[in-house]
Amino acid sequence: NAGVMQNPRHLVRRRGQEARLRCSPVKGHSHVYWYRQLPEEGLKFMVYLQKENIIDESGMPKERFSAEFPKEGPSILRIQQVVRGDSAAYFCASSPGQRPNEKLFFGSGTQLSVL
Amino acid sequence: GQQLNQSPQSMFIQEGEDVSMNCTSSSIFNTWLWYKQDPGEGPVLLIALYKAGELTSNGRLTAQFGITRKDSFLNISASIPSDVGIYFCAGQPPGGGYGGATNKLIFGTGTLLAVQP
């Protein structure tokens, strides 16, 4: 999983604030995925993006959550008006090409805690 | 939605013992993957399986893609302390997208492995 950089590693927010999670994929990777992990559970798919396009956002809540992967810069997962239930580890993964799950590299995650 | 049932939930073993864990589903998958996650880190891919019946090894790890495409197992032989961690199975369901499969993975609930030296 070397190369996928996520920041911050830990993020504390109060209810109602906004959380912005950043992910820089492995250099040269143009496919980015976001997953969420609740304590003692497996990862749950949220959204799949390619450069400047959202390909599949079927796992992302329709309200308060948004994601982007601009032409330049990192992918951003944005959570508006956070609630306690948003507390989780958020993992970003990237892949180089069209068989994404063959070589899916995960970052170390951002642990979001909502007070 | 599709779910993966992973068992056992946890295992506490002595160094040198063999370990076996498995995942089952009521639905078929195109690909089965096994990951290991250390505390505070993201999952790291251990083994990927692409065909029903496929048996693949990676060092002391062996995994198989069930013939029905609804299950997979992972074996670890001669466990060592650094095998400690949480092991996840993940499946790639059939559907749209590239190669007839979707681009999202369904993860199991994990098996916590503790190895006593």
Task: Say whether pLDDT at B100 is over 60.
Answer: no
Cβ distance of B42 and A4 shorter than 8 Å: yes
CB atoms within 10 A of CB A35: 25
Cα–Cα–Cα angle for B43, B70, B21, nearest 5°? 50
b vs e for B82-104, b when ≥16 Cβ sit within 10 Å of the residue's Cβ? ebebbbbbbbbbbeebebebbbb
| pLDDT at residue number B97 | 55
Residue B46 contacts A, CB cutoff 8 Å: no
Arithmetic mean of pLDDT, B76-92? 95
Q: State the Cα–Cα distance between residues B31 and B8, nearest whole angstrom.
A: 21
Estimate to the nearest angstrom the gap between the alpha carbon of B100 and the chain centroid. 22
Cβ distance of A101 and B33 shorter than 8 Å: yes
Cβ distance A92 to A29 under 8 Å?
Answer: no
| pLDDT at residue number B93 | 84
Cβ distance of B44 and A1 shorter than 8 Å: yes
Place of tokens 């013992």: B17
Residue ranges of the alpha helices (H) in A8-95? none
Task: Say whether pLDDT at B116 is over 60.
Answer: yes
Query: Could you read off the pLDDT of A79-98 as tens digits, one per residue?
Result: 999 999 999 999 999 988 76
Arithmetic mean of pLDDT, B3-8? 90
Residue B38 contacts A, CB cutoff 8 Å: no
Task: Say whether pLDDT at B3 is over 80.
Answer: no
> What token pair was written down for B81?
């302390």
| pLDDT at residue number A1 | 44
Task: Say whether pLDDT at A3 is over 80.
Answer: yes
Q: To the nearest whole number, what is the mean pLDDT of chain B?
A: 91
Residue B25's pLDDT band (boundaries 50, 70, 90)? Answer: very high
Residue B103 contacts A, CB cutoff 8 Å: yes
Cβ distance of B110 and A48 shorter than 8 Å: no
Residue predicted with more confidence, A101 or B78: B78
Q: State the Cα–Cα distance between residues A15 and A38, nearest whole angstrom.
A: 18
Arithmetic mean of pLDDT, B44-69? 95
Q: How far is B25 from chain A (nearest CA, A)?
A: 15
With contacts defined as CB-CB under 8 Å, which chain A residues touch B110? 40-42
Cβ distance of A40 and B110 shorter than 8 Å: yes
| pLDDT at residue number A101 | 54
Query: Could you read off the pLDDT of A30-84 as tens digits, one per residue?
Result: 899 999 999 888 899 999 999 889 989 999 999 999 999 999 999 999 999 999 9
User: Is A101 in a helix, a strand, or coil?
Assistant: helix
Q: How far is A108 from chain B (nearest CA, A)?
A: 4
Residue B104 contacts A, CB cutoff 8 Å: yes
Closest A-chain CA to B87: A42
Closest B-chain CA to A3: B42
| pLDDT at residue number A70 | 93
